[in-house]
Amino acid sequence: LRLVVTAHRISSMGLSPAEINELEHAGYSIPLRRAVNMQEILGLACSSDVVHETAASQLSLATPGEAAGLSLVRLSRLLPAVIAMPVGIPPASRIDEALSTGELLSVDVGEVNEYYTASCDGNVVAISEAPVPLTESEESRFVLFRESHGLQEHVAIIVGNPKYWPDPLPVRLHSACFTGDLFGSLKCDCGEQLLGSMKFFEEKGGGVLLYLAQEGRGIGLNNKFRAYTLQENGLDTVDADRTLGFGPDERRYGVAAQILHEIGIGRIELLTNNPDKVQAMQDAGIEVVNRRPLHGTLNRYNRPYVEAKVARAGHWLHDMLAQSTAGD
């Protein structure tokens, strides 16, 4: 048996592989002892205090099959770790039987790689739309887009009458945040950014908010909760994600640019503190005429998060950090 994990996870474990894997979606495999149990495997996959006794020399680059398995769980936004076991060709009769009954499933490595690549291209299809009057703007319309190679769905919230939109058009790329947007979590400022964007659109006479299915900077809600637990134990938001096997930011903004192109938007005033969003829009042919910062309220719960985004990800939040911390 072997445990296949990402390069981010290997690095967080303090291991330095002899060979470097430059493919983002590939990974490394770690040999497992015969008597290993599932709790130990889970610890190897995502614990912050595990020290694996395997020397770095015993690590190996993931095989094409192992890397394909890792790609599948990444696409599903599961914990990016898989258990791999080589199977003879042709498979043993027991495996043949399991495949025939559906107990086991089989997929071609090439098909997985093709699908993974296609899932990153940002292509979307408009599925449905409806007028939805909002508190901040009664003249609003929701358009749902679905990724062409997947089940992820994103919503464009179109505020105001496009005939009278300002130029450049205010635009917000907003990653879904279940805890902040819906429940007012104090661990982030997402909810305030969302409401602040909608208020600004109404003041300016229109705008577009893209509500992107990129929970937890693209790691999914389940892994976001795992990361929160690691942060309670002293890790910052970047190192917590890294411990789980993710990069500092798993989001890609090609899908956002594609939606803007579909709507017919080419010149924008981008509401963001994130330099990656500005660069991604420019790279996709969207003219970012102006950038408008969005600051929430600093408090003792979100200060470490904001500090990490400034120090580790280069976000433009220095003015927010200059605020006095409420509740301290």
CA angle at 18 for the pair 17 and 19, rounded to the nearest 5°: 90
d(CA 45, CA 195): 37
Q: What letters, b where the CB count within 10 A reaches 16 and e where it falls short, cover 288-302?
A: beebbebbbebbeeb
Among the listed residues 149, 154, 5, the one whose alpha carbon sits nearest the alpha carbon of residue 74? 5
Report, as residue numbers or ranges, the catalytic residues.
249, 251
| 81-84/140-147 β-pairing | unpaired
Asked if 133 and 139 touch (Cβ cutoff 8 Å), the reply is: yes
Categorise residue 63: left if φ over 0, alpha if ψ from -120 to 50, beta otherwise.
beta
